[in-house]
């Protein structure tokens, strides 16, 4: 059980609650017990639909790509920011869902032309597989930069190519 240390730093509290769920013998039951607190701290991926606030939030934050997934507030903020700008570069920690956010943005707004720059050829291959499985009915997907083509296009490039 989490001790009351009097610390009200949200990040420290998030870490404590996540650790408490992880160390529990029944993580789902523990998350259900903590649902209101988890939701208040923005941990919507843990609060799921265990409390009324989470249920309402999740009904508005459902993914267009996967109806089993609700985006967390930071992911929704980034999608909104991308939709308001011409070009965006963003960085986030591992497991934030950066790829999911980009694919979600593409599914929601279906822009005409998208260029995704990834650091390695392995990621080009991984993205290509994901894009083909989800977006092939809406977009022409290419790996190299081709001359402008009519219609909706997603182009993948990597910094390892030399032109």
User: Would you state the pLDDT for residue 162?
Assistant: 47
Q: What is the mean pLDDT of residues 142-159?
A: 68
Mean pLDDT in residue range 47-51 = 75
Which is more confidently placed, 19 or 162?
19
The pLDDT mean for the chain works out to 80
pLDDT over 90, % of the chain: 12
* Residue 53 pLDDT class (50, 70, 90 cuts): confident
Per-domain boundaries in the chain: 10-60, 62-109, 111-163
Closest CA to 28 of 40, 41, 46, 11: 46
Picking from 118, 8, 10, 2, the residue whose alpha carbon sits closest to that of residue 73 is 10
pTM: 0.66
How many other CB atoms are found less than 10 A from the CB of residue 9? 9
3-class secondary-structure state, position 143: coil
Place of tokens 């392995």: 122
């Amino acid at each position: 059980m989490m001790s009351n240390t009097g610390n009200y730093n949200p990040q420290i509290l998030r870490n404590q609650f996540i650790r408490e769920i992880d160390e529990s013998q029944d993580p789902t039951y523990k998350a259900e017990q903590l649902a209101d607190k988890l939701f208040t701290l923005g941990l919507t991926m843990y609060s799921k639909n265990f409390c009324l606030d989470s249920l309402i939030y999740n009904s508005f934050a459902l993914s267009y790509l996967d109806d089993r997934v609700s985006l967390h507030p930071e992911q929704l903020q980034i999608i909104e920011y991308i939709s308001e700008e011409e070009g965006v570069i963003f960085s986030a920690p591992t497991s934030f869902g950066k790829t999911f956010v980009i694919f979600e943005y593409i599914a929601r707004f279906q822009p005409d032309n998208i260029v995704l720059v990834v650091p390695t050829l392995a990621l080009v291959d991984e993205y290509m597989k994901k894009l083909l499985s989800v977006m092939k009915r809406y977009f022409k997907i290419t790996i190299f930069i081709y001359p402008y083509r009519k219609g909706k296009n997603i182009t993948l490039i990597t910094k390892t190519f030399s032109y």
